[in-house]
Amino acid sequence: MNRVEPESRFRLGRCRTGLGLFARIAFPAGERLIEYTGERISTEEADRRGGRYLFHVNDSWAIDATGRDNLARYINHACRPNAEARVVGRRVFIYAKRAIEPGEEITYHYGRVYFRVFIEPNGCRCATCLRRAERAALRAATAPPPPPLAAPRAAGSGRRAAPTRAGKDR
């Protein structure tokens, strides 16, 4: 069996979030795309190092992909991704969730904890969230102006005083 090198299946390219990994060929749904590789370290060491290229495999192990020789480290987060990460033993593989076309950026969801710590504070910039923000901005820009405010009422109970009758003794 001929093994196709990752460099011929993918290309690095510019995207809205910096650099991203793009498909050079079509991938069917369910196909294993690439392995997330790097130094295998304990979770304690991962917590000491910190960083954005740590993939926690389980409660004991993490993969540190700080080195630039791992193409999978360039896969960006998406709230509606076309790929998913699967842990097999102490290894991590990225699989296509759906068919991926040549030229399409490979994305997967980084997980709730990573999202909450690193992405949410600055706002998600994935394609889905950017489209949602653009639609909201367009709706706000094209919305009719709000109706004029009603005239303020006089201080008090808000009821009009009953008319008095002239000439009546009190």
Please give the average per-residue pLDDT across 31-57, as a whole number: 92
Question: Would you state the pLDDT for residue 160?
Answer: 59
H helix intervals, the chain = 6-9, 43-49, 112-114, 127-142
Q: Per-residue pLDDT for 2 more than 50? A: no
Please give the average per-residue pLDDT across 49-61, as a whole number: 88
Enumerate domains of the chain plus CATH numbers. Answer: 6-141 (2.170.270.10)
What is the DSSP pairing of strand 32-36 with strand 91-96? antiparallel
Q: Comparing 19 with 142, which gets the higher pLDDT?
A: 19
pTM, two decimals, is: 0.73
Tokens describing residue 150? 């009603």
* Residues sharing a CB contact under 8 Å with residue 44, sequence separation 6 or more, in sequence order: none
36: confidence class by pLDDT, cuts 50, 70, 90 = very high
Among the listed residues 77, 45, 65, 41, the one whose alpha carbon sits nearest the alpha carbon of residue 85 = 77
